């Protein structure tokens, strides 16, 4: 990828479209509105609170990221979305039960104005969801055309300059890449023939790319992670990325595992289990959707610990991930990790992590950051997979010949160095030998 010659300034309004207006999406929308009105601080958002060091440590240049790269302003964001239920964002947020009534009340009028468009949905891909607010079409291609029309209408109606799409819909059943995903030609033929390996989320991604709208995938579904859509994104000069927001348990896993590896401590096993009771938990109770999530959650350790390079330390790891649907907890997930490590002379030790987290509270700022960074990438003319945004994903997409980078700190360094590179600043290597001349 070449360095952007210039980055177009964020003029006008930015539309943020989310397929899926459930817990994560509505917590994101409500939160941005509360921040805009001065009721809250955007905690958890790197784009809003983060800074970036430029030049030497002695230079004292540490601007805010949002000023350094000129991100779109929160006031310029307009929200839209699709869902299989017709509830407006206020009703959906109230049902999701993430935010307290007193917070929701402050954004009630605003959220009531965000009404979902009819979804492209097929229950064969999300077994535990029964929606009725759904489009009709003879073929998958027709349905994608309807989504394109939605995008154009939304843009015109709201007088938007640019759009981005972030998938916040349910996790679909596990799909493997097949021949139909191999090229744009086979994919388009497959859409017209209603090929079963083309899931609804792929139609949203196809529609977004067709309309020149960057697409980020917050769920572990295959979606845009197929050669056909990568080829299409490159041809249309559109930024794409995914998969699966890195929020709770995997965030900690990608912090702890690099620490063990840094100190050459061994690992025998890592058992991760969760209880959660929101709709996401209900959807993941179906083995097909769980399999998609499990694959996404299992990858991180293998790539971070590199057992082929360190067989004595990581050659025999028992890694298990469980998600249990347990309604009393709602969105307040509890994630336990039991980690069996070993040290000098092979002596065993254990670490227990009990993370009482709030799923959508962790995910909402990620949706915001992805929307703003994907808009930036698009304005900078960066097309195809945006690997520098791996920081936000459990299962980061990357070029075919690469393995994904999961270590949170390498991901952050990559993200910040990409911003420096885009703006023509020196990259920071942390060598620092010049301070001791």
Ligand X SMILES: NC(=O)c1ccc[n+]([C@@H]2O[C@H](COP(=O)([O-])OP(=O)(O)OC[C@H]3O[C@@H](n4cnc5c(N)ncnc54)[C@H](O)[C@@H]3O)[C@@H](O)[C@H]2O)c1
Applying CB under 6 A, which residues contact ligand X?
19-25, 82-85, 96, 119-121, 126, 129, 131, 168-171, 200, 218-219, 244-245, 247-248, 278-280, 283, 359-360, 362-363
Q: How far is the CB of 154 from ligand X (least distance, A)?
A: 14
Quickly list DSSP for 40-76.
---TT-HHHH-B--BS-TTS-B--BHHHHTTPPPGGG
Q: How far is the CB of 292 from ligand X (least distance, A)?
A: 9
Looking at the Cβ atoms of 313 and 397, the one nearer to ligand X is: 397
Taking the C-alpha atoms of residue 376 and residue 381, their distance in angstroms, rounded to an integer, is 9
Specify the 3-state DSSP secondary structure of 435.
Answer: helix
Q: How far is the CB of 149 from ligand X (least distance, A)?
A: 16
Taking the C-alpha atoms of residue 374 and residue 382, their distance in angstroms, rounded to an integer, is 9
Looking at the Cβ atoms of 10 and 248, the one nearer to ligand X is: 248
Looking at the Cβ atoms of 283 and 339, the one nearer to ligand X is: 283
Give the residues across from 276 on adjacent strands: 325
Which residue has the closest beta carbon to ligand X?
A: 22
Q: How far is the CB of 30 from ligand X (least distance, A)?
A: 13
Looking at the Cβ atoms of 4 and 137, the one nearer to ligand X is: 137
Looking at the Cβ atoms of 68 and 392, the one nearer to ligand X is: 392
**Residues with Cβ < 8 Å from 323, sequence gap 6 or more?**
273, 274, 276, 281, 284, 290, 293, 294
Element (H, E) at 434: none
Looking at the Cβ atoms of 18 and 47, the one nearer to ligand X is: 18
Half-sphere exposure of 382 (CA within 13 A, CB side): 24
Q: How far is the CB of 2 from ligand X (least distance, A)?
A: 32
Q: How far is the CB of 405 from ligand X (least distance, A)?
A: 18
Cis ω on the peptide bond leading into residue 243 (within 30° of 0)?
Answer: yes
Looking at the Cβ atoms of 360 and 390, the one nearer to ligand X is: 360
Looking at the Cβ atoms of 131 and 258, the one nearer to ligand X is: 131
**Residues with Cβ < 8 Å from 2, sequence gap 6 or more?**
none
Backbone angles phi, psi at 15, to 5 degrees: -90, 130
Residue 297: C-alpha distances to residues 211, 224, 246, 251 (Å):
32, 18, 9, 10
Looking at the Cβ atoms of 47 and 249, the one nearer to ligand X is: 249
Angle between helices 184-192 and 227-235 (to 10 degrees): 110
Q: How far is the CB of 15 from ligand X (least distance, A)?
A: 16
Q: Tell whether the torsion through CA atoms of 250, 252, 257 and 262 is positive or negative.
A: positive
Tokens of 179: 């021949």
Q: How far is the CB of 19 from ligand X (least distance, A)?
A: 5
Strands 77-83 and 14-19, bridge-based pairing:
parallel
Q: How far is the CB of 355 from ligand X (least distance, A)?
A: 11
């Amino acid at each position: 990828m070449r360095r952007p010659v210039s980055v177009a300034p964020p003029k006008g309004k930015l539309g943020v479209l989310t397929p899926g207006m459930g817990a994560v999406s509505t917590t994101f929308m409500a939160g941005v509105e509360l921040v805009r009105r001065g009721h809250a601080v955007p905690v958890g958002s790197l784009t809003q609170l983060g800074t970036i060091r430029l030049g030497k440590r002695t230079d004292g240049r540490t601007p805010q990221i949002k000023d350094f790269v000129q991100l779109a302003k929160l006031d310029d964001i307009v929200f839209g979305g699709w869902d299989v239920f017709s509830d407006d964002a206020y009703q959906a947020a109230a049902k999701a039960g993430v935010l307290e009534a007193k917070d929701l009340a402050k954004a009630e009028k605003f959220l009531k104005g965000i009404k979902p468009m009819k979804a492209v949905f097929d229950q064969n891909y999300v077994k535990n969801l029964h929606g009725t607010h759904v489009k009709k079409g003879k073929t998958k291609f027709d349905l994608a055309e309807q989504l394109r029309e939605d995008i154009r209408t939304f843009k015109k109606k709201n007088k938007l300059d640019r759009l981005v799409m972030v998938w916040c819909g349910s996790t679909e059943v596990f799909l493997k890449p097949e021949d139909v995903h191999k090229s744009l030609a086979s994919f388009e033929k497959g859409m017209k023939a209603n090929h079963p390996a083309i899931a609804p989320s792929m139609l949203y991604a196809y529609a977004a790319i067709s309309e020149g709208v960057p697409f980020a995938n917050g769920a572990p579904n295959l979606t845009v992670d197929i050669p056909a859509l990568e080829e299409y994104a490159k041809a249309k000069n559109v930024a794409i990325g995914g998969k699966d927001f890195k929020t709770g348990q995997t965030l900690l896993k990608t912090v702890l595992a690099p620490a063990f590896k840094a100190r050459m401590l061994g690992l025998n096993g890592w058992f991760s289990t969760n209880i959660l009771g929101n709709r996401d938990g209900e959807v993941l109770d179906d083995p097909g959707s769980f399999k998609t999530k499990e694959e996404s959650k299992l990858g991180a350790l293998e790539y971070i610990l590199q057992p082929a390079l360190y067989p004595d330390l990581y050659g025999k790891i028992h890694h298990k991930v469980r998600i249990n649907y347990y309604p009393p907890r709602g969105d307040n997930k509890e994630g336990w990790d039991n980690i069996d490590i070993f040290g000098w002379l092979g002596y065993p030790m254990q670490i227990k992590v009990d993370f009482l987290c709030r799923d959508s509270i962790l995910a909402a700022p990620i949706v915001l950051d992805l929307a703003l960074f994907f808009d930036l990438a698009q304005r900078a003319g960066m097309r195809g997979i945006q690997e520098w945004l791996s920081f936000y994903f459990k299962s980061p997409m990357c070029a075919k010949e690469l393995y994904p980078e999961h270590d949170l700190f390498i991901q952050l360094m990559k993200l910040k160095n990409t911003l420096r590179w885009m703006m023509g600043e020196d990259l920071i290597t942390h060598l620092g030998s010049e301070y001791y001349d």
